[in-house]
Amino acid sequence: MRLPIIDFKKKWPVFAAGYVCFCILYTFTGHVHLRPPARLPLSPVDTAVPFMAWTVWIYISQFGFLVYCLWLLNDSVHISRTLYSMGLASLLSFSVFILYPTTFPRAPRNARGLTAEAFEWLYRLDSPSNCFPSLHVALGFLALSGVIAEKKRARWLALVWAALIWASTMTTKQHYFVDIVAGLGVGLLCRAAVGRAAFKSAALLTERARQSDPIAASEPTCSGEDLSEG
């Protein structure tokens, strides 16, 4: 299987096109199910975590977080690995949303003013049945992993931001605790699946550069080629 490298110049067009597809499929899977959405039993963690209305602002900062992480990435291998793994995680999650949809009860929340309006906007756009696994967690983990792999200084801000978003999935009562665990699992699985192809490609490109030009072998060689698993 061959996957094209996504270099620095292509990352924003690819991200924009992917986000449009994501929105279409997310909306579709919020309305098309093979069985009625099921409520899951609340775990001790679910009952212990309080509802905090103001954290909805953290929850809806997810898109900004993903853009921030992608903005930090410059290396073609890290860009490719991050975007491909995010696409794979989305497709896997969409499959679960259709095959085994779950829902979290949306009871009236104690929110006022702009925060109440933020919840109304969220409830209009976000399907209550797209719970398991949490895409906030899966996609956030993959974006964070790319930053950690490439940017040592910026990783701490990204880590704190991601952790706050993951916590907000429960303090806004949008997700069960098991959704967060599953989201991390999906993220780990997809990063591992895409990672082998990306880093084998990097080694292949280095070897090609060494054979054609010994001096070029010491410089980055991650753009304009294909990711290959074999």
Considering the domain boundaries, does residue 111 fall inside one? no
- In a domain? residue 177: yes
Its domain, for residue 221, covers 2-20+49-101+131-228
Higher pLDDT, 145 or 223: 145
> Which pLDDT value is given to residue 222?
46
Amino acid letter for position 72: L
Count of the separate structural domains present in the chain: 1
Computed over every residue of the chain, the mean pLDDT equals 86
Q: Is residue 106 over pLDDT 50?
A: yes
State the helix-helix crossing angle for 177-212 and 76-99, rounded to 10 degrees. Answer: 150
CA-CA distances (angstroms) from residue 89 to 77, 82, 93, 215? 18, 10, 6, 39
Taking residue 213's Cβ as centre, other Cβ atoms within 10 Å add up to 11
Average pLDDT over residues 149-156: 84
pLDDT in tens, 165-215: 999 999 999 999 999 999 999 999 999 999 755 555 554 554 454 555 444
Residue 86: closest CA among 32, 153, 6, 164: 6
Q: Residues 6, 194: contact at Cβ < 8 Å?
A: no
pLDDT recorded at residue 226:
45
67-102 pLDDT, tens digit each: 999 999 999 989 999 999 999 999 999 999 999 999
210 versus 143: which is more confidently predicted? 143
- Of the two residues 118 and 200, the one the predictor is more confident about is 118
42 falls within a domain: no
Bridge partners for 228 per DSSP: 2
120 belongs to a structural domain:
no
Within-domain flag for 121 = no
**Does 79 fall in a domain?**
yes
Residue 169: inside a domain, yes or no? yes
- In terms of C-beta density within 10 A (0-12 exposed, 13-18 middle, 19 or more buried), how is residue 33 classed? middle
Q: pLDDT tens digit string along 24-36?
A: 999 999 999 999 9
Considering the domain boundaries, does residue 108 fall inside one?
no
